[in-house]
A and B are shown apart, each in its own frame.
Chain A
Amino acid sequence: MCGLLNINMAYVNGTLIASYFICKRELWFMAHELTPDQDNSFLELGRFIEEDYYKREEKGFIVGEMKIDIVKQGDENVIIGEIKKSSRSELTGIMQLSYYLMRLKEIGIIAKGEVLIPKERKKIPVELTKEIEEKLRKAIEEIQMIIMEPFPPKLEKIPYCTHCAYREFCWS
């Protein structure tokens, strides 16, 4: 792959990809180290689920700036997993994993992905498609632009706000 893209992508990590598909304002906050309220009940619950439900698996792999929840050897390929609290974040999980798969592909590792929702005993297989790759490339480009903005994107009420750890920040 071209080196230029790699340099640009160095600023993007999985969390930013996830945020991009949820809320651009959250994305901007995340990129500026404005972490959300850690006491937020939903966030706290999510953390425990991640920590405790998958104690046995090897987890928390860091590849470059990516933090992959779970890595295990499948029958043919390596399988990487992303843990989510509920189906609500299924889609963002898919995009996040696809992003990791794409990055791994670039360094010559062919892997498969799984979004894991332990609370619902769900496992969603993820494979990298041309369409998704295209979507991600566009996302990465746009993420760079949003991050460079001097101010966060304007406040907008979306359904995600209800359970968002930034809710009181945004709506104070």
Chain B
Amino acid sequence: MSENIYIFSNGELKRKQNTIYFEVKDGNHKYLPVENIREIHLFGEVILNKDALEFLSQKEIILHFYNYYGYYVGSFYPREHYNSGYILLKQVEHYLDFEKRRYLALKFVEGAISNIITVLSYYRRKGINLESLDKINALYQNLFYQNTIEEIMAIEGKVREIYYSEFNKIIENKEFIMDKRSKKPPENQINALISFGNSLLYSYILSEIYKTHLDPRIGYLHATNFRRFTLNLDIAEIFKPIIVDRVIFYITNKNMLSSRDFEEKLNGIYLKESGRKIFISKIEEKLRTTVFYKKLGKNVSYRRLIRMELYKLEKHLIGDEKYYPLISEW
């Protein structure tokens, strides 16, 4: 049983015999090894009672909820177990002090753009004509002269626009055409994949934040809004190109998806259950893939890389070591 469980069926999730038990509406059931589960993603209509939530909370299992369209809607984030008033104060300090906030916002975007360049360079080496790389490089140089958070975000927006326009060259399968990034609703299949992949990534990062002392409500690039989680959105910028986008290129170029895996709803295009399962399998595989981490001197999974990015941020906040974003060499 994987550490992450994805529930697509409709049914009831309960505590039974000191473990978790899922009863599918059609009468099937399954016991889940509570000691080995880290998070449960709920896509189906699932009934939960307080007893189950208390049990999940005690076992520190996070629930991520998605709506009918596969959008992330929220999480059940058990009472925090890694509490540190010290880190919280430092997190706030780095938000309120504009220069400190700007530094972090800038570094997150620097990581995002650098990793976009890494991804594009890989395809250029494979012989794809990606002339936009020069434009992106120029914008990257410009990044460091931006003063406000809005300006920093604007640079990132421009880079992404150019980057997405190159997707058609990278994706060989002509069933998938990208015109421009559209979110709500996604207007084509590639946009549906990006939206779904990003949703998953936000939830994975949130789960990792849970295992640190950081408060997910305080972000730096994405304005802190005390009702929503934003730190996971910040960190996601760094990982989108090397996790989500690479999975998209992989599954489309290997013809693992076809238009049968999508459907049209509310003028938008969405992944169907079959498509979501394929995507999840591949992104899970990606998260388990390991790469060599020089400073640590051992192999770590992509999932672990996310955690370590958060550790770097914590060290920055406590004044131990300045934060530099992960720039993929792989």
Contact = CB atoms under 8 A, between A and B. Distances in A.
Interface of A: 32-35, 37-39, 150-152, 155, 167-169, 171-172
A150 B319 contact: yes
B297 A33 contact: no
B86 A34 contact: yes
B315 interface: yes
Given A150-B319, A168-B300, 19 more contacts: A32-B86, A33-B84, A33-B85, A33-B87, A33-B213, A34-B84, A34-B87, A35-B82, A37-B211, A38-B211, A151-B318, A151-B319, A152-B320, A168-B307, A171-B296, A171-B297, A172-B296, A172-B308, A172-B312
A145 B83 CA distance: 24
A54 B40 CA distance: 34
Interface of B: 81-87, 211, 213, 295-297, 300, 304, 307-309, 311-312, 314-315, 318-321
A167 B318 CA distance: 17
A168 B85 contact: no
Contacts, number: 50
A38 B83 CA distance: 12
Given A39-B211, A168-B304, A168-B307, A34 B314 contact: yes
Nearest to B213: A34
A172 B87 contact: no
A32 B315 contact: no
B320 A168 contact: no
Contact of B315 (A37, A167, A169): A169
A169 B314 contact: yes
Given A34-B314, A152-B320, A167 B296 contact: yes
Given A150-B319, A151-B318, A151-B319, A168 B213 contact: no
27 contacts: A32-B84, A33-B85, A33-B87, A34-B314, A34-B318, A35-B82, A38-B81, A38-B211, A39-B211, A150-B319, A151-B319, A151-B320, A152-B318, A152-B320, A155-B321, A167-B296, A168-B300, A168-B304, A168-B311, A169-B311, A169-B314, A171-B295, A172-B296, A172-B308, A172-B311, A172-B312, A172-B315
A168 B318 contact: no
Nearest to A168: B308
Contacts of A33: 83-87, 213
Interface of A is mostly: loop
Question: Can you list the 9 inter-chain pairs with the closest CB atoms, starting with the nearest?
Answer: A172-B308, A172-B311, A171-B296, A33-B84, A169-B311, A32-B86, A151-B319, A172-B312, A152-B320
Contacts of B83: 33
Nearest to A31: B86
Contact of A172 (B84, B211, B295, B318): B295
A171 B296 CA distance: 5
B84 A168 contact: no
Nearest to A167: B296
A150 B304 CA distance: 28
Nearest to B307: A168
Contacts of B311: 168-169, 172
A39 B309 CA distance: 17
Nearest to A35: B82
Contacts of A155: 321
A148 B311 CA distance: 22
A172 B314 CA distance: 11
Nearest to B320: A152
A37 B210 CA distance: 11
Contacts of B312: 172
